[in-house]
Structure 1
Amino acid sequence: MLNLFTGLFSFQFSSIEDLDAMLENGPWFIRNNLLIQKKWNPDVNLLKEDVGNVLVWVKLHGVLVTAFSEDGLSVIATKLGTPLMLDSYTSDMYSKEGHV
């Protein structure tokens, strides 16, 4: 539900597990706009916050085989910001190739 006064969306979940799954499986977009999620509690200020840092998942295309290693991908990602981790698919693919 969108609150037109604050510009905030609110969602209700049938279980804590569903809420946690939504928070963990993002990022989420509405009409190609990033939806920044935050778990509500009674102390949360419902005014829009200025966002300084946002964690994003970046999909890299055309990575050379010679750069396809944890270190190589980290160097590429460093040009975009501070890399935190490989996603599970890339990590699994990298492991199956026998490089780890």
Structure 2
Amino acid sequence: MADIWRPVKGVKIKVAKTGLFLFQFAHAIDMEGVLQRGPWMFDNHMLIMERTHLGVQIENIPLYHVDFWVQVHNLPVGLMVEKAGTKLANYIGAFVEYDKNNNSSFWRQYMRLRVQVDVRQPLKKDSRVKNKGGE
């Protein structure tokens, strides 16, 4: 993973127990970059990553949530706004971020949302959205 992430100041990877690892970044900017660019896969397995805090045992950190970028297609232009995106994201999981950079083109094809998903729940897909007029 260190070869893929390429942290400027480096990272140490330790096995805490089978299937549970501790990634210790030498600089907070490297850690934030890895967390923001995820989710990550290793050997066809999802890496569920969470910040640790002093005094908390690694085994007691709940590893149930992953942030995903979601594309929402076929929305009318008037609904491709952050307010509508927040509601859609909260239906899927929990709203994290609206991609304002994707909002720069009038002809954009979809809305991008970062959504925190509980990996213990089944994914939601192919949902229909109605506007105030019922369309």
Q: Which TM-score bucket, shorter chain as reference?
A: 0.5 to 0.7
Structure 1 portions without partners, runs of 5+: none
Aligned to 2:70: 59
The number of residues matched between the two structures is 93
Supply the distance in 1 between the matched residues of 2:19 and 2:29 (Cα, whole angstroms): 26
Residues 5/77 of structure 1: CA separation in 2 closer, same or farther (3 Å cut)? closer
> Please, what TM-score do these two structures have when normalized by structure 2?
0.48
Q: Is the 8 A contact 1:27 1:35 kept in 2?
A: yes
Matched, 1:73 2:82: no
Answering whether residue 34 of structure 2 is matched by residue 25 of structure 1, we say no
- The answer to whether the 8 Å contact 1:6/1:48 transfers is no
- 1:83 aligns with 95
Please say if residues 6 and 46 of structure 1, whose CA atoms lie closer than 8 Å, have aligned partners that are also in contact: no
Q: State the one-letter code of the partner of 1:92.
A: N
**1: CA distance, partners of 2:61 / 2:24:** 21
What is the TM-score of this pair, normalised by structure 1?
Answer: 0.59
List runs of 5+ in structure 2 lacking aligned partners.
Answer: 1-12, 107-135
Q: Alignment identity in percent?
A: 24
Q: Cα deviation per residue 1:30-82 (whole Å; 9 max; x = unaligned)?
A: 23432222344552312254445x25224225332333222332333232133
- Summarize the Cα distance change of 1:61–1:27 in structure 2 as closer, same or farther, 3 Å threshold: same
